[in-house]
Chain A
Amino acid sequence: MTTSTQGRNRSRPAALAGGFDLGKILLEGRAFLALIVIIVVFSILSPNYLTTSNVLSMASHVAVYALLAIGMLLVILNGGIDLTVGSILGLSGVIAGWLMQGVRLKALGDVTLFPAVWVVVVLAALVGAVIGLVNGVLVSRFKVAPFVATLGMLYVVRGIALLMTNGLTYNNLDGKPELGNTGFSWLGFNRILDLPIGVIVMVVVAVIVSLVLQRTVFGRWLYASGGNERAAELSGVPVRRVKVWVYVASGVCAAIAGLILSSELTSASPTAGSSYELTAIAAVVIGGAALSGGRGNVRGTLLGAFVIGFLSDGLVIVGVSAYWQTVFTGAVIILAVLLNAVQYRGRRKAPASSGDAQGPSSEPEPADATSPQTARTTG
């Protein structure tokens, strides 16, 4: 019913995908409003909250969540879910730690290789990509439900990380100057123009993904196959390929997040990032994306990550107990999802029944009741 009126409000002349759109702004306005409320409340409660140093330190916490969430967004836009990101984050750190300690190769006459930092970064990202590839192939080729496929991989990947270290943590990631592998801590500690590297990486990744989503064929394919896979396929969209790529991208994002986190902590624990996949999903949802696919964007997801990060750090600063922090975070997620439901209720009404898989002629007359104004457009 609201379909028609919203349609009227939301439509603007030459606005295609990335254009200015009042409805979208309002939708994201919600997460933005929440962020402002959080900042205002905590600034009042603690004078230290809104200092530059604290905001920057919070922002580098957010960067880790945001990188995971941006990868997650791609998968969720496709109508899937990626539960492996927390495990990939952990494994990526462990891979980096392992490589920094030197790799002994007995086959080559027992030499120990100390790869340069850039090699470490590339290899860790590659491992993330491979795990994403496995997820993608399981989901697209073998038709395993994304939830189940990535749940399984969550355990497998975490297990590999634990096996590699025997459950221990790599504590020395600094490298040695004589081995030429120093500089790993640059990721976590250095700043450019006062901005932590992690934050800069987050911004760069966000800009790239945003451009891909709004301006490239792949982005449009992703929105289309998430919105209606069958229709996309019949329109010539390579839906399987799109699906594989989003999992690969999510894996790479998670691996990068893992490198930043282990560099910040100067240690790589195989259990790092446990349950971060849920935080990432929460950020995407708070950012207004639909778990059913096809709706959502990078701006919203970033806001979602900031809401979660600024809220939990704020609670720490004002001294709320860790248990209460969990309760608050949960409440914010539920609130966001409730608002999403309100937001999409009207819009979904018309197309929803088509998703019921009731078959071809279940609704031969879809527009009759749901969009009354069409009487005039047809007549």
Chain B
Amino acid sequence: MAETNSSEKFKHLSKLEKNILQCISCGDCRELTDNTLDPPNWGVCVAREHTTGFEPFFGRGKMQIIRSLWQGKLELSEDMANVIFQCPTCNACSKACYYGLNTVDYYEALRAELVDAGCALDVHNEMNQGLLENLNPYGQDNAQKKNWLDQLDFTVKDASSEPVEVLYFTGCTAALSAAVQPVAINTAKVLHKLGIDFGVLGGAEICCGSVAMRTGARQVFQEIAEKNAALFQKIGVKTIITSCAGCYRTLKIDYKDMLEGSGIEVMHTVEFLEKYLRENGIQLKNLGIHVTYHDPCHTGRHIGLYEPPRALLRQMATLTEMKNIKEHAKCCGAGGGVKKAFPQLALDIAKTRIQEAEETGADYIVSICPFCDRNLADAIQETGSAMQVKDLLELVEQALE
């Protein structure tokens, strides 16, 4: 039986063996347009919308490729990889699936098979190799991760040497990218203003490994994740917060087995703050601005964190929702290694999202993911839109009396 050999041949897909044949190929993962729903749902797959649109660019085609591989009818190839990696793994197709197949699990397993077969994209290979060497995917000296702390007028505890109640896991993008550092700075300012006992790892912080996991480099991910899990357990932290949607998904879902029994709770900073402010009766100041909110895929569809950011925004601003929100929200296009390997595709997808944001009449598009922030800002620059991107933490910092 071909399937028996496949179990040995495809070690990543074999973990999903039970449901590989369940995709009925209905194609609802292609567009599923329905304005009679509340919220309405216009289209599903941003990758299909911005590519040539052949079936492998959306869910059903990928699932048929996986089935064909599994049944021994097809071989992995670089051509295949070039298409399979043009997907931001936003998981919209999963939400469209009547049978609830968690499609991203299959795509990531297929990516892992491609990587193991030597079909990875060169740019991803370089990035993941650099991640192992530098402990961040940006090819920078990891010690620089502490530099943003110099911009604060207070001291933040070093969680690697002092006990803290809350570890703020900064993430590589906010720590190392000058344009996105305000996310880290504002997060720290907010925590400081609220008197929360928190610390950071600074130069000792290791990338969460999201980029490796998303691009199929599972060996790299495993190595990185094990280092992190050991570090978290060593410092004895019980609550980890992060202002990065990618780190959040990775630490909460991909580390689940490794952190099991450790008692560590992983929260997005926004989730943590909304709860904290609510429980302590702290009201945010209304900033008198008009905003719309972009749900990052990793906080939204991957985990279901929809209401806390909106609850905070409604206190601070007038919130007008876009046409596609929550589980139907359109991806910004940056995730899944797309920004790295296919920057134009990422930009094209983001431009569509900005257009949708403009239709609300809002002045600001707010999000809670440095990676989304960056890609959306690139699209604004490209299109000359008057809209501005704000990270929610920046607004919270301004709105805390």
Co-complex (A, B): no
Q: Which A residues contact B (CB, under 8 angstroms)? A: none
| B residues apposed to A, CB below 8 Å | none
